[in-house]
A = this chain, B = another copy of it.
């Protein structure tokens, strides 16, 4: 139901409205904190307008400038790479605790720091993570309503469409973003209400059926993925700790849960390339025994894959299994976005590393060991990679009995 008759400005405005009304469900009197690349100024202005119309008491935007970051890597003294704006991160955490909502606009250059001193890159990232921990804990605990949304930028567009002139590449990327975000539908707020209902129906049904495991079968893939004891399926709009129902990710197409990190057996192959910190990993095939990867191969980037698998003990198991029909709009676009927000919503995927405690029943008060005993994997990494396609069948297995969930990539369970 795409309205190609809409102008770019109209589509941008619908995307902004979608992010404020659906993504955040911003409440009257809430402050809003936006982080955005400088290229996102026109989108930020429209989000700001919709936020005030929704009753925001104050909108504060922090712009990131890729050029300023490159100037730091080019000219700053050694000590700079261990420095972060803790004073600012603490201020933002305080705002979240006092009730502010958070909007993150993604779209920077995915390979900006390629070619920089890897020691400097990892120290900057560590210092920033440490400074941002209090604020990010509020986000990962989902204590306040938040939303992440994408904005096309020339650097990103050029990497997706390297053979197009800039204008054409930007148009193509915007088309993909508007479509995946349902901003090009007649009534995006209604379209998201309908879509959320579909995702909720799927997760509700899966939570009722309580499969012991999922069996994925297709070219290069024949794997039984056990589900954690007391796993919960999630997907679509969710209620944050402050009581606001919102859609943290726009777009989102997945229903997802926690696999059992010691009950996974078989072989699985990637169906799309994985971009990790500027590196390409393609043609992945891994074999699991009792939940752990015992054999890993990649046609391209095998060294990077092996380095990932050695991050820590939990990196050789998975913390998420997600179901996405092949007919999802992102998958249909055929675009590889090199951005997890989009690519993980194009296909069924699994994630190496950390599980989501929100995908477990009654996680409160459980120690890490107790969560692991129930199957929830623990790791410092969480890296999604795509294993779905139109050639994949998925069965749910309960007490040895098989129920079809996906056939040739399409949802068949109801």
By a beta-carbon cutoff of 8 Å, the part of chain A in contact with chain B is 28-29, 31, 38, 41, 44-45, 48-49, 52-53, 55-63, 65, 67-68, 71-72, 74-77, 79-80, 83-85, 87-88, 90-92, 94-95, 98, 100
Contact = CB atoms under 8 A, between A and B. Distances in A.
Contacts of A72: 48, 52, 58-59
A79 B57 contact: yes
A88 B91 contact: yes
Q: Count the copies.
A: 2
Contacts of A91: 87-88, 90-92
A49 B98 CA distance: 36
B61 A80 contact: no
A61 B65 contact: yes
Contacts of A100: 87
B75 A57 contact: no
Given A58-B85, A88-B91, A65 B41 contact: yes
Contact of A68 (B31, B44, B94, B95): B44
Given A38-B41, A58-B84, A88-B95, 17 more contacts: A29-B77, A31-B85, A38-B63, A45-B65, A49-B71, A49-B74, A52-B72, A52-B76, A53-B75, A57-B77, A57-B79, A58-B72, A61-B63, A61-B65, A63-B63, A87-B100, A91-B92
A105 to B, nearest CB: 14
7 contacts: A31-B83, A41-B65, A52-B77, A58-B80, A58-B83, A60-B88, A63-B63
Nearest to A82: B57
Name which of A80, A98, A100 has the most chain B CB atoms within 10 A of its CB. A80
Contacts of A83: 31, 57-58
B60 A45 contact: no
Contacts of A85: 31, 58, 60, 95
A61 B68 contact: yes
Contacts of A68: 44-45, 48, 59, 61
Which of A28, A45, A48 has the most B CB atoms < 10 Å from its CB? A48
Contacts of A71: 45, 48-49, 52
